[in-house]
Amino acid sequence: MAANSSVTTLVPGSESVPDTGRPAPEHRHTEDGFALTDRAHVHESIDPRIHDLPSNAEVAEGLFHHHHHEQPHGEHGRRASETSTRTVPTPVVETGLESGVSDEIKEKGRDDVIYVEFEKGDRRNPFNFSRPRKWAMTAALVSFTALTAATGSAYALGYTSMEADLGCSQELAALGLSMYALGFGLAPLVLASFSEEFGRLPMYLASTTIFGLFFIPMAVAQNIQTVLVSRFIQGMAGSTGSTLVGGTLADIWITSERGIPMSLFALMACIMTGLGPVTVGYVEMNVHLQWRWIQWLGLIFSGACLVFMCLVMKETRASILLMREAKKLRKTTGDNRYRARVEDERTSLKTLIYISFTRPIYLLITEPVVASFSLWVGFAWGMLYCLLESVPYVFQTIYGFSTGELGLSFISMVVGVLIGWAFNLFVQERMYRRNFDRIGAEARLYSACLAGILFPLGAFIYAWTSYSRVHWIAPLIGVTIITTAIFLIYLAVFSYLADAYLIFASSALAGQSLCRNLAATAFPLFTFSMYERLTPQWASTLIAFLASLLGVIPFILFFWGAKIRERSRFAKRLAATAEDS
């Protein structure tokens, strides 16, 4: 390539550029209002990945520099929109284009590349969507999250009529609860990568459609096998309500505004697990409705959610939007120099899927902090699904509750989640802000330490008040305390691992998510037999003892977590990266 070859970046039009000792750039503008800045005036990088694309060896060991967590993409978009005069120098040398530019451009031998970026204030940038649009999108996303959470638990209230109708055992009926959790746990290892390739909106629309459609084979099923397969596929489709929503909220809300939307997302993910059974208890009692109409109601709500999404949702992944704009410019102008950065920086879908599968497992094996916290949150999440099985057994066997009354008893779980949410909002967040400068990421663990005490306490109360001579409110108080602890653990694991592992947060969180959902898959398989053979008192006592043992984990991490991470090879690399940046 000629020595005077250049890379041009499509940037915001007329904003001032910091004094770099160079003459002020003369901007040329496209018809769409974008400005073209010559490479001689490119002065600062907004995406450090372009300087340090991964080698094959780095990909194999974890793709250290090229991460694909949902949150960083949102942050990248935020930086681009907030500092829109800053442009990225592509690594070009006099002899030709280097790794920052794709082979396609090398082969075409073009003299320059024009990168497409958003202008400041550009309404096409998801960060610049109107507030009503953002809140409408947030409502649609939270609604889908609520639907997937409620569907997972509401199923358990239909066991009685399902067993009679399909001629299956209670264990086989309970397997549907496990199959849903299994699909929920495995699918994100692939779906996150597909959102990288195709964008978020197609994933949401496809997932919501598939999720709703698979209520139909369950509602008309003539055997339990149809129900189990449908539950597994439905769990896979519904997992986007957990895995992609956080990243989408990060795409449209800046950090200072993200707290309430994210807390609503987390709240719905847990609170609807309790509300699901509440809403269908009396449906199961009606001999004309029963378990099949639980599925038909799910289909109706899914259809409403899909319509809502179609009306308000837009694509939010900035890289996908810029890639479409670049493609449009190439088509309308016939000039193939127009590019989106992601076209030259991204890794293949095959590589992303490989990383999604292997890196979380690698961190689980090599990082004591990730492994221990994942073990604890996995046990806690398994206990949540254990409650979906044990509460019906305890309150029908010991207290003689009807199915409708049984559904109402799950309000105790809703109350527990609300208490945990309020504590996190008004206590944990204040303590975090007050102590972060002094103790770092471990300031996220005050609520987790409280949960380490509440979890076994609630389990012991649940165990030793489950007698007919004791008022039924007593074991429900135990359920409330357990659920409060589970929600605090759920929030703490996300915030702590994100703060502690930074660019590795996606893999650390994927590891704990895998543990959570595998535990949710396993616990329903043995809960009924355990409570039947050990009695409710001793079964819950066993859980309380295990919770007591695991409850020391947050205290260990609070006092020694920083030292443990200092010995980690990843922590050393993170520190080195921070020093270089």
Mark whether 20 and 169 lie in a shared domain: no
Does 332 reside within a domain?
Answer: no
How does residue 346 score in pLDDT terms, banded at 50, 70 and 90? low
Parallel, antiparallel or unpaired: strands 35-37 and 8-11: antiparallel
Confidence label for 575 from pLDDT (cuts 50, 70 and 90): low
Question: Does residue 556 sit within a domain?
Answer: yes
Structure token digits, residue 289: 């409705």
Answer yes or no: is 177 within a domain.
yes
Mean of pLDDT values over 168-180: 91
Same domain, 85 and 145: no
pLDDT in tens, 279-330: 898 898 888 889 999 999 999 999 999 999 999 999 988 888 888 888 888 8
Per-residue pLDDT, averaged over 333-343, amounts to: 84
pLDDT in tens, 476-520: 999 999 999 999 999 898 888 878 876 677 777 888 888 998 999
Question: Is there a single domain that holds both residue 466 and residue 507?
Answer: yes
pLDDT: which is higher, 103 or 16: 103
- Asked if the structure places residue 469 within a domain, the reply is yes
What integer pLDDT is reported at residue 577 of this predicted model?
A: 61
Give the pLDDT mean for 334-352: 79
CA distance linking residue 268 with residue 252, whole number of Å: 19
Both 495 and 558 in a single domain?
Answer: yes
Residues 108 and 224 in one domain: no
Boundary of a domain, candidates 298, 315, 332:
315
**Nearest-angstrom CA–CA distance, 71 and 251:** 8
Is 156:177 a contact under the CB 8 Å cutoff? yes
CB 16 within 8 A of CB 121: no
Claim to verify: residue 107 and residue 134 sit in the same structural domain:
no
Length of the chain: 581
Residues in CB range of 419: below 8 A, 6 or more apart: 480, 484
Residue at a domain's end among 87, 115, 143: 115
CA angle 447, 449, 453 (to 5 degrees): 110
- Total structural domains within the chain: 3
Q: Please check whether residues 275 and 392 belong to one and the same domain.
A: no
Q: Tens digit of pLDDT for each residue in 248-277?
A: 888 898 877 877 888 888 888 889 998 889
Q: Quote the pLDDT of residue 574.
A: 63
pTM of the model: 0.75
Contact 100, 90 (CB under 8 A): yes
What's the pLDDT at 32? 52
Q: Can you give the pLDDT at residue 266?
A: 84
In angstroms, rounded to a whole number, what is the distance separating the alpha carbons of residues 494 and 516? 12
**85 and 145 within one domain:** no
Identity of the residue numbered 170: Q
Give the pLDDT confidence score for residue 578 in this predicted structure: 56
pLDDT tens column, 283-292: 988 888 899 9
The string of pLDDT tens digits covering residues 125-153 is 898 999 999 999 999 999 999 999 999 99
Q: Rounded mean pLDDT of 523-549? A: 94
Tell me, yes or no, whether 150 and 76 share the same domain.
no
Tell me, what's the pLDDT at 298? 95
What is the chain's mean pLDDT, rounded? 79
Q: In the chain, what are the helix, strand and coil shares in percent, each to the nearest 5?
A: 75, 5, 25
176 and 38 in one domain? no
Q: Could you tell me the two tokens for 13?
A: 């039009």
Q: Which of 217-226, 362-371, 437-446, 486-495 has the highest mean pLDDT?
A: 217-226
Q: What is the pLDDT at residue 579?
A: 57
The confidence band for 12, taking pLDDT boundaries of 50, 70 and 90, is very low
Q: Give the whole-number percent of the chain exceeding pLDDT 90.
A: 43
Domain annotation covers residue 124: no
Side by side, the strands of the sheet bearing 338-339 are 28-29, 35-37, 8-11, 114-115, 338-339
Q: Which residue has the tokens 């409710």?
A: 536
Give the CATH number of the domain where residue 258 resides.
1.20.1250.20
Of 296, 315, 334, which residue sits at a domain end?
315
Of the ranges 107-116, 142-151, 432-441, which one carries the lowest mean pLDDT score? Answer: 107-116
**pLDDT over 80 at 52, yes or no:** no
Whole domain around residue 304: which residue ranges? 130-315
Span 356-374, average pLDDT: 86
Task: Tell me, yes or no, whether 307 lies in a domain.
Answer: yes
Q: What 3-state class would DSSP assign to 99?
A: coil
Q: How confident is the model at residue 446 (pLDDT cuts 50, 70, 90)?
A: very high
Task: Answer yes or no: is 325 within a domain.
Answer: no
Quick one: 110 and 184 in the same domain? no
Across residues 542-546, what is the average pLDDT?
96
Q: Per the domain annotation, does 328 fall within a domain?
A: no
What's the pLDDT at 543? Answer: 96
245 shares its domain with 310: yes
